[in-house]
Amino acid sequence: MGAHEQPGPSRSRRPGRIFLAIAAVAALAAGGWALSLDRTPQAVPTTTVPSTIAPTSTSSSTTTTEPIAVENPYGGDVTIGISSEPITLNPLLEGGGAEILHLIGRTAWAGAVALEGVTLDPVPVLLSEIPTLDNGGLVKNEDGTVTVIYRIDPNARWEDGSPVTGADFELTYELVMDPSLPIRAEVRAPYAAIIPDSLQVDASTVTFALDGPSLAYLDVFSIVVPAAQVGDSDFTTDWNDRFWMSAGPFEFGVWVPGEWITMDRNDEYWGIDAETGQDLPYLDHLVFEVAAAVGGPVAGFQTGAFDVIGVPPDPVVISELEAFENADVEIGWGPSWEHLSFQFGPGRFGRNLDSLNEYLDYRRAVAHAIDRGKIAAVVSGGLGSVLDSPLSVVWPAAASSGWSEYKRDTDGVAAALDALRAGIEVSIPRAVLTTNSTPERTLAAGELGSMFAAEGIALEVEPPEETGVYFLETIGPGRFDLAQWSWVPTVGPSGAVADIRRWFLLTPQAGGSNFSRWPGSAGEPADVVRLTDLLEDVATELDLEEVKAMLSEIETLMADLVVTVPLYAELNAGAVHADALSGYRHSIIPGGDTWNAATWYRTDG
């Protein structure tokens, strides 16, 4: 684990707060990740520099921005409570995917592109702009391949002052693609789209070819390592207890195992706060302190030991912290989202010989029978809300109004059942719900039983299954009539495209997971054809605006066809002592609460 042990940070207390003064430690600092440091808390066009940080060619505080009346203060430390330590500090290797590691590392790592922490839009980090067809960064070739041109931000530099160059990208590619290295599968996967031997680099550009059109250009080179430092190292051992050089706002300080990891201000960081014209970051140090005491980070936050913590998705804990003096609890939704799934394959008849899932009018009756707001409130202790658009927790810009038309509506149920009975003979529709025994699903199943009965639909709720059996023997093979479970998507545009196809594109194939066996219902062939075409076409679309429009239409069609019924998204929260720290914005990106740590500043002197 951490080998660079140093004396611990000295502490001086003021009422309710803890301040840390940490001696600067010569260190080797961290590199980037796909969802790494972003430089703005605002939504921006995808081809521009993030709006709260402007590029600058010097580290001087002299800028071309308009003078400001009030400047944000520099200095001070922030303590972030963490429940455990990373296994390794190398984010590329197996074991490097832990959320705790990314919470720490994203303050120093930098890649080609990152996700803005709130909008989940892609923004350039080491690039001057995101490549597009319009700016010449993407070129469709006659042979079906796509040439990608990265233009490196001329201001981008490592913590030693050296510029980021194409050589850094080249070494990153060689490391990721080296079969002898234990590179994490999710890191290596997007690089498979790069045609071998197509990579060409110079001091300011990186050029490579994709084997076909896809959004892989947003995902590769999400971790960039400094070639001059890492090139001659043993990659599997040398970076487990230290970070390599930083190209982010903070650089590695010290790791005292079992106690804390510190990150120090990177004086070579080139980011500028566009709202004030000031150099970033504002803080001197970030301290990630292991919460060893009973109660973990939450208890430490309540005693004033921690300025910022991630909050468990527990309504009781969230409510307690909301009532705590000077605590600001920011509640997000997702990315995990819960739904009621219809099975369209033959496996449903093993549960319910009378299954009617293939009939659109029946599915609409079911959707109108459910009070989704009540279910969301019951499972979240009153904190949750209805999920009308799964895309809203994956990539908000692509979200449609989705399932908003489906509310508890007795007249709507009656009209849908009348339309159903006009085509088939059925007196009381019968459904069978299969689920596992998580507390939230047990609560939801009870509510669903009452709601269906009140609207004239007989719902049999089967005894909860053990989780392993449920997912391996029921959900995977499609042996259910109705079932409830959650999807855990990959956020951002490329994640939205991959996941929406994984959820609903045709019958499962190798590596697929369309457990509902959609499509397969009768009565809406034109919409099914359009939906299937869109699901195919969106995978090869390069223009993000077109991708956004296609995803929104896909979701609208899925709602019209009631392919599934979204219920609610998981609570996802973070807490900050707002009387002492400004600029914090919670993010649902895994380990994402430090995504804009460059713009945090203390307000308590």
Q: What does the pLDDT look like over 309-330, one tens digit per residue?
A: 999 999 999 999 999 888 999 9
**Mean pLDDT, rounded, for 282-291:** 97
* pLDDT confidence of residue 533: 87
Q: Is 413 helix (H, G, I), strand (E, B) or coil?
A: helix
- Hey, do 10-307+580-602 and 333-570 end up sharing a CATH topology, with the first three levels equal? no
Cβ neighbours of residue 530 under 8 Å, at least 6 residues apart?
557
* pLDDT confidence of residue 568: 95
**pLDDT exceeds cutoff 50 at 40:** no
Q: Which two tokens stand for residue 81?
A: 């409570």
**pLDDT exceeds cutoff 60 at 339:** yes
Q: Which two tokens stand for residue 481?
A: 């009539």
* pLDDT confidence of residue 524: 56
Of the candidates 320, 325, 357, 362, the residue with the CA atom closest to the CA atom of residue 341: 357
- Per-residue confidence band for 529, with pLDDT thresholds at 50, 70 and 90: confident
Determine which helix (DSSP H) or strand (DSSP E) holds 444, and give its type and residue range.
Answer: helix 439-454
Please name the residue that has the structure tokens 């004239």: 456
Task: Kindly give the pairing relationship between strand 482-487 and strand 430-434.
Answer: parallel
What CATH number has the domain spanning 333-570?
3.10.105.10
Q: Which two tokens stand for residue 255?
A: 């790791």
* pLDDT confidence of residue 520: 52
Please name the residue that has the structure tokens 């796909």: 34
- Per-residue confidence band for 532, with pLDDT thresholds at 50, 70 and 90: confident
* pLDDT confidence of residue 50: 32
* pLDDT confidence of residue 63: 40
Q: Kindly list the distances between the CA atom of residue 505 and the CA atoms of 169, 362, 435, 511, 583, in Å, as whole numbers in the listed order.
A: 34, 22, 23, 12, 41
**Mean pLDDT, rounded, for 107-126:** 96
- Per-residue confidence band for 462, with pLDDT thresholds at 50, 70 and 90: very high
**pLDDT exceeds cutoff 50 at 43:** no
Distance CA 411, CA 207 (A): 59
**pLDDT exceeds cutoff 70 at 251:** yes
DSSP collapsed to 3 states, 144-184: CCEEEEEEECCCCECCCCCECCHHHHHHHHHHHHCCCCCEC
Distance CA 302, CA 325 (A): 9
Q: At what angle do helices 315-322 and 296-303 cross, to 10 degrees?
A: 10
* pLDDT confidence of residue 496: 94
**pLDDT exceeds cutoff 70 at 506:** no
- Per-residue confidence band for 512, with pLDDT thresholds at 50, 70 and 90: low
Task: For the chain, give the number of residues.
Answer: 605
**pLDDT exceeds cutoff 90 at 169:** yes
Task: Give per-residue pLDDT as tens, 297-307.
Answer: 999 999 999 99
Task: Give per-residue pLDDT as tens, 553-563.
Answer: 999 999 999 99
* pLDDT confidence of residue 66: 55
Distance CA 596, CA 578 (A): 16
- Per-residue confidence band for 53, with pLDDT thresholds at 50, 70 and 90: very low
* pLDDT confidence of residue 68: 53
- The better pLDDT of the pair 41, 574 is held by 574
* pLDDT confidence of residue 70: 67
Residues 551 and 538: beta-carbon distance below 8 Å: yes
**pLDDT exceeds cutoff 60 at 507:** no
DSSP letter (8 states) at residue 470: I
**pLDDT exceeds cutoff 60 at 32:** no
Q: How many CB atoms lie within 10 A of CB 50?
A: 23
- Per-residue confidence band for 256, with pLDDT thresholds at 50, 70 and 90: very high
Q: Which two tokens stand for residue 207?
A: 């050029």
- The better pLDDT of the pair 3, 86 is held by 86
* pLDDT confidence of residue 31: 30
Where is average pLDDT lowest: 9-18, 403-412, 548-557?
9-18
CATH topology of domain 10-307+580-602: D-Maltodextrin-Binding Protein; domain 2 (3.40.190)
Residue type, 577: H
**pLDDT exceeds cutoff 90 at 35:** no
**Domain boundaries of the chain, sorted by first residue:** 10-307+580-602, 333-570
- Per-residue confidence band for 425, with pLDDT thresholds at 50, 70 and 90: very high
Mean pLDDT of the chain: 87
